Amino acid sequence: MIDLFQKTILAGLGASLVTSEKILSGLSHLVQRGVMTTEEAQKIADNIIKESRMEYDSAKHQMDEAFEQYMQKANLVTKSQFEQALKRIDALEQRLAASSEPSDQPKSTS
DSSP string spanning 34-78?
TSS-HHHHHHHHHHHHHHHHHHHHHHHHHHHHHHHHHHHHHTPPP
DSSP state of 84: H
Which pTM value belongs to this model? Answer: 0.48
Q: pLDDT tens-digit profile of 38-88?
A: 898 888 888 888 887 888 788 888 888 888 888 778 888 888 999 999 999
pLDDT band at 27 (very low <50, low <70, confident <90, very high): confident
